[in-house]
């Protein structure tokens, strides 16, 4: 498995260096840009993703591989940890099949095989979460004296604490652990080692808590806003859309296997082996929680990743307990092959253009940024020390990364969009003395921007094509004579 993983890592490095048609995704470009105003935490996310990008770009520079290094490592760590978890759940005679089944399911999973190339909080959260689950499962297979040894639980607490620095959803670990112990090991609830693990995980959240306490709990308010209901989404239609999204990111085989494994676990819950109870408790409640949330709000396809990925391990264990017929093995092989085809197609969706219109392409936000950065950089050479102004972070962040040579930039929420981290950043003091280039991906000029300057006029309109299709267009205005911000 390690050899296969290293081979996949090499192929992905070659792809990113020579063949990718994509630039940074807007969100991962945003996490990179936060390094310019590095802090203990950030408005929309905890800090670990940005800190990891800071480390990798310090070593490899501001390149695609430099930004994505830890995502690439997470892509190989997740299937290996999933295989280790599966092997820990079954008797010795079934470990080989369970391990390879879990490894195959996770390695071909579109959410990981393709989506895992994006350096997002999930890239760090998932391997940390799975490593903690491996440690927890192994605690149930040894005598109690060894199960409650201090190093085991301190390591577990450290893993969960680091996961919490990646994404707030890691906070679900200890409530689920409490539910599990109440069901399977009530006496462990009194063990100081378990409570010390929770305390250590909490101590590792000090940077996030400190930042929130000094920023009016802005991060917590953003999280609550994100999970609150809205008038545009919710109901059975949103639930159906969510389930359809799960079928896409898990592949045609993954969701079916997960539902079968959950059904098998629920039906046998009274006699379920304790180690399988870990998987059931740590997956099904999370998924049902997000499924219920669809009744009041939209839920992104990656949000239940802490449930669906370990549930695929549970599915691999379920498969290992079956006496698969030749037909069953053929269907499993076909499902994995379809996952591979889907994941590889996402590496260049031009291959799918006859059946996937550009407007429906899930990768369209990644296209054209590298070429646009070069075009825009050449245009900026016409100006003396310009500043770049963006009113939408999804445009500004990837453009700032890909523009060569680099230019100074700032952000203004002139269109009243939801708050982002840039809203709290100070504007350049040199603003009154420098030309300002407003950039947008639409040709409507924001009225409030005109109030900032004595004059603004249209400048360049830039476009980039791939395979004869316009994939990125940028409209710019040249402004000067900064007055002051009035709102």
Q: Each residue of 374-397: pLDDT tens digit? A: 999 999 999 999 999 999 999 999
How confident is the model at residue 325, as a pLDDT?
A: 65
Which of 152-166, 228-242, 266-280 ranks highest by mean pLDDT? Answer: 152-166
> Average pLDDT for residues 440-446, to the nearest whole number?
91
Interacting residues of 210 by C-beta distance below 8 A, sequence separation 6+: 40, 41
How confident is the model at residue 438, as a pLDDT?
A: 96
Angstrom CA distances, 460 to 440, 474, 475, 476, stand at: 11, 8, 6, 5
What are the pLDDT digits (tens) for 126-162? Answer: 999 999 999 999 998 888 778 899 999 999 999 999 9
| The model's pTM | 0.93
How confident is the model at residue 468, as a pLDDT?
A: 83
What are the pLDDT digits (tens) for 2-44? Answer: 888 999 999 999 999 999 999 999 999 999 999 999 999 999 9
Contact 129, 173 (CB under 8 A): yes
Contact 403, 377 (CB under 8 A): yes
Structure-model confidence comparison of residues 197 and 354, the more confident one: 197
Confidence category of residue 275, pLDDT binned at 50, 70, 90: confident
How confident is the model at residue 344, as a pLDDT?
A: 87
**Count of C-beta atoms within a 10 Å radius of residue 398:** 28
Contact 390, 399 (CB under 8 A): yes
Q: Taking all residues of the chain, what is their mean pLDDT, rounded to a whole number?
A: 90
Angstrom CA distances, 112 to 82, 127, 328, 399, stand at: 12, 11, 24, 26
Structure-model confidence comparison of residues 233 and 457, the more confident one: 457
pLDDT higher than threshold 90 for residue 339? no
> Average pLDDT for residues 313-324, to the nearest whole number?
84
Spatial distance between the Cα atoms of 213 and 224, rounded to a whole number of angstroms: 16
Contact 55, 104 (CB under 8 A): no
Interacting residues of 101 by C-beta distance below 8 A, sequence separation 6+: 86, 316, 319, 320, 332
Spatial distance between the Cα atoms of 132 and 162, rounded to a whole number of angstroms: 11
Contact 110, 249 (CB under 8 A): yes
How confident is the model at residue 231, as a pLDDT?
A: 63
pLDDT higher than threshold 90 for residue 264? no
Q: What is the SS3 assignment for 445?
A: coil
Tokens of 38: 């590095």
How confident is the model at residue 174, as a pLDDT?
A: 95
pLDDT higher than threshold 90 for residue 210? yes
pLDDT higher than threshold 70 for residue 481? yes
Residues, the chain: 487
């Amino acid at each position: 498995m390690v050899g296969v993983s290293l081979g996949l890592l090499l192929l992905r490095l070659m792809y990113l260096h020579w063949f990718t048609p994509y630039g940074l995704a807007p969100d991962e470009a945003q996490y990179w840009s936060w390094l310019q105003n590095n802090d203990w935490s950030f408005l929309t996310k905890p800090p670990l993703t940005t800190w990891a990008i800071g480390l990798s770009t310090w070593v490899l520079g501001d390149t695609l591989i430099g930004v994505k290094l830890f995502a690439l490592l997470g892509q190989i760590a997740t299937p290996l940890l999933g295989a280790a978890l599966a092997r820990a759940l079954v008797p010795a005679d079934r470990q080989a099949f369970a391990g390879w089944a879990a490894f195959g399911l996770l390695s071909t999973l579109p959410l990981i095989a393709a989506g895992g190339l994006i350096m997002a909080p999930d890239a760090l959260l998932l391997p940390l979460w799975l490593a903690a689950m491996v440690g927890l499962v192994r605690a149930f297979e040894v005598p109690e004296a060894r199960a409650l040894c201090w190093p085991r639980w301190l390591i577990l607490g450290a893993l969960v604490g680091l996961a919490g620095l990646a994404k707030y959803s890691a906070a679900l670990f200890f409530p689920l652990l409490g539910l599990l112990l109440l069901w399977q090991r009530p006496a462990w609830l009194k063990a100081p080692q378990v409570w010390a693990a929770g305390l250590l995980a909490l101590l590792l959240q000090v940077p996030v808590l400190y930042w929130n306490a000094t920023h009016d709990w802005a991060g917590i308010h953003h999280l609550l806003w994100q999970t609150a209901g809205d008038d545009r989404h919710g109901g059975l239609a949103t639930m159906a859309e969510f389930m359809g999204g799960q079928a896409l990111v898990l592949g045609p085989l993954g969701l079916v296997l997960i539902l079968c494994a959950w059904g098998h676990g629920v039906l046998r819950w009274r006699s379920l082996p304790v180690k399988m109870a870990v998987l059931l408790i740590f997956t099904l409640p999370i998924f049902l929680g997000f499924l219920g949330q669809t009744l009041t709000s939209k839920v992104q396809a990656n949000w239940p990743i802490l449930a669906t990925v370990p549930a695929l391990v549970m599915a691999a264990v379920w498969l290992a307990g079956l006496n698969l017929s030749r037909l069953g093995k053929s269907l499993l092989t076909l499902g994995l092959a379809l996952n591979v085809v889907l994941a590889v197609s996402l590496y260049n969706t031009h291959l799918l253009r006859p059946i996937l219109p550009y407007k429906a392409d899930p990768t369209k936000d990644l296209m054209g940024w590298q070429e646009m950065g070069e075009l825009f950089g050449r245009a900026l050479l016409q100006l003396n020390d310009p500043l770049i102004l963006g009113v939408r972070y999804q445009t500004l962040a990837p453009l700032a990364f890909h523009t060569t040579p680099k230019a100074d930039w700032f952000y203004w929420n002139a269109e009243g969009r939801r708050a982002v981290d840039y809203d709290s950043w100070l504007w350049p003091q040199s603003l009154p003395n420098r030309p300002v280039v407003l950039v947008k991906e639409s040709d409507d000029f924001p009225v409030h921007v005109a109030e900032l300057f004595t004059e603004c006029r249209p400048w360049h309109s830039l476009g980039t094509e791939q395979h004869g299709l316009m994939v990125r267009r940028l409209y710019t205005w040249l402004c000067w004579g900064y007055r002051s911000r009035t709102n």
